[in-house]
Amino acid sequence: MSHEFSRKVELIHNPAYIGALMSFVLSKSTFMYGNQCEKRLYFHKFKPEYRNPPDPAQELVFAQGTDLGMLARNLFPGGLDLTPETPYQYTLSAQKTLKSLPVRYVFYEPVFIGSEVMCALDILVRKNSGLFAFEVKSGTSAKPQYIEDAALQYWVMKKAGYEPRDFSLILINKHYEFNGNLDVNQLFYTESILEQILELQEQIELKVAQLKKLLKQKVQPEINPGMHCFSPYTCDFSNHCWKGIPTENSVLDLSHGIGWKFFEEGYRSLDELPANLELPPRAAFQLKVYRSGETVVDKEKISAYLSQVDFPLGFLDFESYQSSVPNIVGTRPYQRIPFQFSLHSLSSKKARLKSGGFLGDGISDPRPGLVKQLIADCKNLKHIFVYSIGFERSVLNELAAQFPEYADELLQIAAKLVDLMTPFQQRWYYHSDMKGGYSIKVMLPHFFPEMSYEDLPIGDGGTASMAYASLTALSAEEREEIRNQLVTYCNLDTLAMVKIWEKLQSIC
């Protein structure tokens, strides 16, 4: 046992040291909250009742991050797990960490407290040459927020007297191809960020002092909402902070984010803006339509657009997911895996609308079955409407590359695609209710208020992806319930396209 570690272990039995150890006012998480927005930290500490309702999708992201951290432990097996049993036992874990450092070499979730700030590391390795810290992240490169996060942890360890020799991120290797047996040494790669961390230490010192002062004074900071509400993560107090901001006719609805400039100048409503403004073309068009109160309809261009399609006609939508840890042979981390499609079709203008599609079972590779069903369902269609053609076209092109035996048929389907978003994106049809947007979730309630995604258990693509990815961990009964919800959601997407297409026809 080294003299340095022996001396520090002796301190554990000193009551004064124990008192200091138990005194911390900031953690890594709360520091990052305050670094993003001091009001977020204030609410977290003193007004937790203001927090937004739990977001199931975000909770699933956190759970997946935890699973990834557990998987990365296999890079350094045999470690001592110092994870506290409850969130209120971090001081106990800090004591256990210091007691264990001289006699163990690998640690999971070791806790350090320095200068009234607490942090828990994902992995710590002790070698003869010193301590080596590792943080596991789900990204494929070192993002600025990862480095800020690690810089605070380095600062805390140094203040506690345990300055690491090196600090690295454990990141996802996007080039790793799964062959059926997961190789964590290939899935992950490590990148030292010590140099970037050292450059931030003075900044960390100042910010910690600033946040401690805030918590001591207990005075709510006066900070207006802004882009910082979403960067690097969406704030979980946004509902409270934004409740006084108009949701109708707001300057924030202006295209290209130009509305933030006016918001910061004190404007809130479009009605408050000066008459003669220099605006980018799309924002200027949007404001002009709002002020006129008229609906823009270019019937000639819409008619020409509609005349390019012919029957039999389809309406197609894909759903896909991406996983940091591939579980399908031949796939890579974050590779897009289409698992579902919905298709509505009309053989003629007066024919009965037919519906169909495909949904994977959540266990096996969904792509072979999806490809075969898609080819069969689209074989006789002349044109196929999609909404935002880039996504569906890229899915088809990727499938053609992954399944060359079906490439010709898949590329033929891609050639039939027509983008139903075009009339709205090009402003051939525009109403101020659209607020500068033109997604299907904007256009459907505009034309058909009775049709809504809001009451669906799965109501957006992100939630659909996460729901499908979670199927493997569910019982057969739970899996079937989620699959029914996925079918309902995806079917609404293509039915919405049918209704919007019919509306365009009636307009012309």
Q: What is the pLDDT along the chain (508 residues), one digit of tens a residue?
A: 454 554 554 555 454 455 555 578 999 999 999 999 999 999 999 999 999 998 766 766 666 777 899 999 999 999 999 999 888 899 999 999 999 999 999 999 999 999 999 999 999 999 988 999 999 999 999 999 999 999 999 999 999 999 999 999 999 999 999 999 999 999 999 999 999 999 999 999 999 999 999 999 999 999 988 889 989 999 999 999 988 787 888 999 998 778 888 988 889 999 999 988 889 999 999 999 999 999 999 999 999 999 999 999 999 999 999 999 999 999 999 999 999 999 999 999 889 999 999 999 999 999 999 999 999 999 999 999 999 999 999 999 999 999 999 999 999 999 999 999 999 999 999 999 999 999 999 999 999 999 989 889 999 999 999 999 889 888 999 999 999 999 999 999 999 999 999 999 999 8
Query: Does residue 305 share a domain with residue 290?
Result: no
Q: Is 206 exposed, middle or buried (0-12, 13-18, 19+ CB in 10 A)?
A: exposed
Q: Give me 228's structure tokens.
A: 């910082």
Based on the domain organization, do 281 and 338 belong to the same domain? Answer: no
In a domain, 385, yes or no: yes
Of the three residues 261, 294, 327, the one that is the final residue of a domain is 294
Write out the H or E segment, with its range, that includes residue 74. none
| 406: CATH | 3.30.420
Spatial contact of 310 and 383, defined as CB atoms under 8 Å apart? yes
Q: Where does residue 257 fall: left (phi above 0), alpha (psi -120 to 50 degrees), or beta otherwise?
A: left
Q: Residue 276's pLDDT is what?
A: 85
Task: Please tell me the predicted confidence (pLDDT) of residue 21.
Answer: 54
Q: What is the CATH number of the domain that holds 16?
A: 3.90.320
- Residue 123 resides in a domain: yes
User: What is the pLDDT, as a whole number, of residue 86?
Assistant: 87
Q: Are 270 and 314 members of one domain?
A: no
User: Looking at the domain assignment, is residue 236 inside a domain?
Assistant: no
> Where is 60: in which H helix or E strand?
helix 56-72
Residues 331 and 289 in one domain: no
Tokens of 302: 């819409």
Looking at the structure, tell me whether residues 195 and 115 fall in a common domain: yes
Q: Domain tally for the chain?
A: 3
> 466: domain range?
300-507
Residue 346 lies in a domain: yes
Position 1 scores a pLDDT of 45
Residue 258: per-residue pLDDT: 87
Tell me if 219 is assigned to some domain: no
Q: How many CA atoms lie within 13 A of 195 on its CB side?
A: 3
On whether both 92 and 113 belong to a single domain, the answer is yes
Residue 287, both tokens? 């404001």
Does residue 409 sit in the same domain as residue 491? yes
Task: Indicate whether 232 belongs to any domain.
Answer: no
**pLDDT at site 5:** 52
Residue reference for tokens 């203040």: 159
* pLDDT reported for residue 447: 96
Are residues 109 and 127 both part of a single domain?
yes
SS3 126: strand
How does strand 313-321 pair with strand 337-346? Answer: antiparallel
Out of 213, 229, 254, a domain closes at 213
The DSSP 8-state label assigned to residue 199 in this structure reads: H
Is residue 220 included in any domain, yes or no? no
Q: Examine the domain organization and report whether 274 and 319 are in the same domain.
A: no
Which of 255, 278, 294 is the endpoint of a domain?
A: 294
Task: Tell me: do 180 and 131 sit in the same domain.
Answer: yes
Same structural domain, 284 and 317? no
63 domain residue, yes or no? yes
Does residue 282 share a domain with residue 354? no
Gyration radius (Cα) of the chain, Å: 28
Cα(402)–Cα(19) distance, integer angstroms: 61
